[in-house]
Chain A
């Protein structure tokens, strides 16, 4: 049989070109499909049409907390009241909410049964609404989220154009 001389070590030099071609193609593909996903989260809100009418008074033992937010002309938050009394900022709002419902959030707790109604001016920047929802729906304590009020609703939109 035709065998090569095996006396010396033959250095095998495989042709790398096709492999490198393919690897670079793959690299380009993965680089182009890279998209940085920013972590996002949701506030789930159940809002059927005519919710105000559907909520019978007897299953609402706790009166809702009404948070009213007024806007300046440029959309910034001009003032905030909770059940009529003025509120300084969102931390104040959170403290007042904790003062009302406490931090017990187990089943059938006060926090679970309380509802927050947001009454916002038409021109208010939406970020203020999200901050208000953040303040009433929970707080971060030692890296853990403590949930407060989950039932959030909006007053019907006012035509403020």
Chain B
């Protein structure tokens, strides 16, 4: 049989298709990369709304409070009972005042689960109001169904 017999031969694999694909994939992932620091949490199932179109610009320094279906609050990734968020908001307020701003200027984003009790959400809003926050953004997921 006609075999080459001069030592271990290096097989040359054509790398071109693989590199093509890899670069395509990389370009895709680069373009889908987003640096938005929007707080999203898998534990929250937002209610759907046709009017909840994504906002063009991010809200400046918002405070995000996520109300779960079991009626507790996720604040900065931590699960906190509703009655305890007052302390955390007090800290937020202090840092705002230190920066020369008022709590009334800040926006509190309320990401509440659709199955949460309305009373609990209102309770959270009330605690925020007592700390001086006035602007609230009730967040919903954009419903693309017609």
Contacts and interface: CB of A to CB of B under 8 A. Distances in A.
B25 A140 contact: no
Contact of B33 (A27, A30, A131, A133): A30
A138 B50 CA distance: 9
Contact of B55 (A42, A123, A125): A42
Contact of A127 (B47, B51, B55): B47
Interface string B39-70: 01000001111111111000100000001000
A39 interface: yes
Contact of B123 (A40, A46, A138, A157): A157
For chain B, the bracket of interface size reads 35 or more
Interface in B77-133: 104, 107, 109, 112-119, 121-123, 125-126, 129-130, 132
Interface of A: 13, 16, 20, 23-24, 26-27, 30-31, 33-35, 37-49, 71, 75, 120-131, 133-134, 137-138, 140, 145, 154, 156-158, 160-161
15 contacts: A20-B15, A27-B22, A37-B34, A42-B55, A45-B137, A48-B134, A75-B117, A124-B118, A124-B119, A126-B114, A130-B140, A134-B51, A145-B53, A156-B122, A156-B126
